[in-house]
């Protein structure tokens, strides 16, 4: 099929895959007048993931942390084309992306091709299940808006079913047992939000079953939040004890059925114990794995054969072994953790790089025009033209001296329930670790300042006030 990209032939076509932290940070800072910019993603909005756990209980309404990509595109100086589609494959040799409309409503054309001169891959990652039987069929994940909505619905379904007339005792206990697998920040934050929901709202509204509610967090490693400092790990574990969230560390989930989680716990004497946890809701938060698109790209580029966790990039975020392809965020391996902080700094770096590349091309053209006027046109003031050439060359040199990408870690923050948070923050070249209610206010203000737009900020503030005043809305949609 004919390419549908409305392109200015004098400019290069820059195709950006994804509308997450990496791609949107790039788009935000990119001078879109320099390129034919095409954004492709199955999600027509940016999602502020740090507040996603709060959507699972209705503390924050999901639309408050979504920003439509169309309004981001409209705010740019140069035009940006957006296609709501999934990139299904990339032909790195012919520089073509194949895209597919996977949404519920499809037109006559559902698949087509988009050619590129430059490609940025920012497609993020998928949920890891490590092939453990039953996980995909029976658990909820917590990565996208749909996941948070599903969890919110399921929590209330479990509660209402537990409150059903003549429900046997053992069934009430099962339904009100919420199991979280994975003690990374996602699992910990979700467990904290869940406990708050029960204490703040369910206990008041459905007191007869409230004492039966339990949250269990299962983690394979010896402690939760492995990336935080030791004192914050201890603080989190003791706060969870107060909140009556049971933590099972050194416990590896091996199998999941529709009503039970089967795990193997390592005991201090080195022996293993099999534990079966009956559950009503299971949330699986064991980190990331590669998206099929990224796996296929890695297989088609020989230089990527030793990379396991994503597209290996160099210090300028260029995909190694590929021509004119860059990668950002969770799908790129640049030696940093898969976080929003890293993805957004990488996106901003690429915007600067591409803005500079466009300026470089412009200055090189100018030098060429000036040099030819010097040689060909009689009567030009050759001294002044030579001076201008020298000035332009100096400017060009300055622009060409782009430093490689350097990640600057601002710190890690996590909410742990009961209006407490933990923070490992870089402060004047040192590290400050703090946990508690003050840190919670810091956590709230930091994220409030970081949400995408003023509109999002007002919506989030409004949700917080609304929940404080009237409680969370427990209606099951």
**What residue ranges bind ligand NAD (CB under 6 A)?**
50, 130, 132, 181-187, 189, 218-221, 226-227, 252-253, 285-288, 337-339, 412-414
* Secondary structure string (H, E, C) spanning 256-296: ECCCEEEEEEECCCCCEEEEEEECCEEEECCCEECCHHHHH
- Which of ligand NAD, ligand FAD, none has residue 187 at its interface (CB below 5 to 8 Å by kind)? ligand NAD
CB atoms within 10 A of CB 121: 31
For residues 226 and 188, give the distance between their C-alpha atoms in angstroms, rounded to a whole number.
11
DSSP bridge partners of 126: 289
Q: Which H or E run includes 461?
A: helix 454-470
Of 67 and 330, the one with the shorter C-beta distance to ligand FAD is 330
Phi, psi for 141 (deg, rounded to 5): -105, 180
Q: Give yes or no for residue 334 binding ligand FAD (CB under 6 A).
A: no
For residues 272 and 264, give the distance between their C-alpha atoms in angstroms, rounded to a whole number.
6
Q: Binders of ligand FAD: how many residues, by CB under 6 A?
A: 33
Q: Give yes or no for residue 184 binding ligand FAD (CB under 6 A).
A: no
Of 19 and 286, the one with the shorter C-beta distance to ligand NAD is 286
For residues 330 and 233, give the distance between their C-alpha atoms in angstroms, rounded to a whole number.
24
Q: Give yes or no for residue 290 binding ligand FAD (CB under 6 A).
A: no
For residues 225 and 188, give the distance between their C-alpha atoms in angstroms, rounded to a whole number.
8
Shortest gap between Cβ of 201 and ligand NAD (angstroms)? Answer: 23
CB 221 within 8 A of CB 189: no
- Which of ligand FAD, ligand NAD, none has residue 220 at its interface (CB below 5 to 8 Å by kind)? ligand NAD
Of 198 and 277, the one with the shorter C-beta distance to ligand NAD is 277
- Which of ligand FAD, ligand NAD, none has residue 215 at its interface (CB below 5 to 8 Å by kind)? none
Of 277 and 415, the one with the shorter C-beta distance to ligand FAD is 415
- Which of ligand FAD, ligand NAD, none has residue 86 at its interface (CB below 5 to 8 Å by kind)? ligand FAD
Of 20 and 417, the one with the shorter C-beta distance to ligand FAD is 20
Task: Give Cα separations from 221 to 184, 218, 225, 265 (angstroms).
Answer: 10, 9, 10, 10
Shortest gap between Cβ of 198 and ligand NAD (angstroms)? Answer: 21
Please give the order of strands across the beta sheet that includes 111-115: 86-91, 96-100, 111-115
CB 177 within 8 A of CB 216: yes
Of positions 338, 411, 436, 471, contacts ligand FAD by CB under 6 A: 338
Shortest gap between Cβ of 125 and ligand NAD (angstroms)? Answer: 9
Of 99 and 132, the one with the shorter C-beta distance to ligand NAD is 132
Of 156 and 225, the one with the shorter C-beta distance to ligand NAD is 225
Shortest gap between Cβ of 184 and ligand NAD (angstroms)? Answer: 2
Phi, psi for 234 (deg, rounded to 5): -65, -40
Q: Give yes or no for residue 293 binding ligand FAD (CB under 6 A).
A: yes
Shortest gap between Cβ of 399 and ligand NAD (angstroms)? Answer: 34
Angle at 309 between CA 307 and CA 310, to 5 degrees: 75
Of positions 16, 17, 30, 247, contacts ligand FAD by CB under 6 A: 17
- Which of ligand FAD, ligand NAD, none has residue 41 at its interface (CB below 5 to 8 Å by kind)? ligand FAD
Q: Tell me which residue has its CB nearest to ligand NAD.
A: 184
Shortest gap between Cβ of 183 and ligand FAD (angstroms)? Answer: 14
- Which of ligand FAD, ligand NAD, none has residue 366 at its interface (CB below 5 to 8 Å by kind)? none
For residues 318 and 369, give the distance between their C-alpha atoms in angstroms, rounded to a whole number.
31
Among 47-55, 195-203, 237-245, 430-438, which window interacts with ligand FAD (CB under 6 A)?
47-55
Shortest gap between Cβ of 346 and ligand FAD (angstroms)? Answer: 8
Q: Give yes or no for residue 178 binding ligand FAD (CB under 6 A).
A: no
Query: Which segments within 42-192 are labelled E, that is strand?
Result: 45-47, 66-68, 80-84, 86-91, 96-100, 111-115, 118-121, 126-127, 177-181
- Which of ligand NAD, ligand FAD, none has residue 293 at its interface (CB below 5 to 8 Å by kind)? ligand FAD
For residues 230 and 148, give the distance between their C-alpha atoms in angstroms, rounded to a whole number.
30
For residues 421 and 436, give the distance between their C-alpha atoms in angstroms, rounded to a whole number.
6
Of 219 and 243, the one with the shorter C-beta distance to ligand NAD is 219
Of positions 34, 36, 41, 286, contacts ligand FAD by CB under 6 A: 41
Of the candidates 145, 211, 204, the one whose C-alpha atom is nearest the C-alpha of residue 177 is 211
Of positions 53, 187, 192, 435, contacts ligand FAD by CB under 6 A: 53
Task: Indicate the SS3 state at residue 315.
Answer: coil
For residues 379 and 29, give the distance between their C-alpha atoms in angstroms, rounded to a whole number.
43
For residues 49 and 9, give the distance between their C-alpha atoms in angstroms, rounded to a whole number.
37
Name which of residues 75 to 114 contact ligand FAD (CB under 6 A).
86-87
Return residues touching ligand FAD (CB under 6 A): 17-23, 40-43, 49-50, 52-53, 86-87, 122-124, 142-143, 186, 291, 293, 329-331, 338-341, 343
């Amino acid at each position: 099929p004919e390419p549908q990209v409305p392109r200015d032939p004098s400019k290069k076509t820059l195709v950006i895959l994804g509308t997450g932290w990496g791609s949107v940070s790039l788009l935000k800072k990119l001078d879109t007048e320099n390129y034919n910019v095409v954004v492709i993603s199955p999600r027509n909005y940016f999602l502020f993931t740090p507040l996603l756990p709060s959507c699972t209980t209705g503390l924050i309404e999901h639309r408050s942390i979504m920003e439509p990509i169309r309004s981001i595109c409209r705010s740019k100086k140069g035009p940006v084309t957006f296609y709501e589609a999934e990139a299904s494959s990339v032909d790195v040799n012919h520089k073509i992306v194949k895209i597919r409309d996977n949404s519920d409503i499809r037109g006559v054309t559902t698949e087509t091709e988009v050619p590129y001169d430059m490609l940025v891959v920012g497609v993020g990652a998928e949920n890891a299940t490590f092939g453990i039987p039953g996980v995909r069929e029976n658990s909820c994940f917590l990565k996208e808006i749909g996941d948070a909505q599903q969890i919110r619905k399921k929590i209330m379904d479990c509660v209402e079913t537990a409150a059903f007339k003549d429900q046997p005792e053992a069934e009430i206990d099962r339904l009100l047992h919420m199991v979280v697998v994975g003690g990374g920040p996602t699992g910990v934050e979700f467990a904290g939000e869940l406990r708050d929901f029960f204490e703040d709202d369910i206990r008041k509204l459905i007191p007869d079953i409230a004492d039966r509610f339990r949250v269990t967090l299962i983690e394979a490693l010896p402690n939760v939040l492995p990336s935080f400092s030791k004192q914050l790990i201890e603080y989190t574990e003791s706060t969870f004890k107060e909140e009556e969230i049971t933590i099972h560390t050194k416990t590896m989930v091996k199998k999941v059925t529709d009503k039970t989680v089967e795990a193997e716990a390592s005991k201090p004497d080195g022996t293993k114990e099999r534990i079966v946890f009956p559950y009503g809701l299971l949330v699986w938060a064991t980190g990331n794995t590669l998206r099929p698109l990224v796996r296929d790209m890695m297989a088609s580029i020989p230089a990527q054969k030793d990379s396991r966790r994503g597209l290996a990039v160099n210090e300028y975020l260029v995909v190694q072994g590929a021509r004119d392809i860059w990668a950002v965020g969770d799908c790129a391996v640049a030696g940093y953790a898969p976080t929003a902080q890293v993805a957004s700094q990488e996106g901003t770096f690429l915007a600067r790089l591409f803005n500079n590349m466009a300026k470089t091309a412009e200055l090189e053209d100018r030098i060429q025009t000036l040099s030819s006027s010097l040689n060909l046109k009689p009567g030009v003031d050759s001294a002044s033209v030579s001076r201008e050439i020298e000035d332009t060359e100096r400017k060009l040199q300055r622009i060409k001296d782009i430093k490689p990408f350097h990640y600057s870690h601002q710190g890690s923050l996590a909410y742990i329930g009961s209006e407490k948070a933990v923070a490992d923050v870089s402060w004047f070249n040192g590290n400050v670790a703090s946990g508690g209610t003050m840190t919670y206010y810091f956590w709230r203000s930091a994220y409030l300042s970081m949400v995408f737009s003023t509109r999002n900020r007002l919506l989030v503030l409004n949700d917080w006030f609304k929940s404080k005043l009237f409680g969370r809305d427990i209606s099951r949609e």
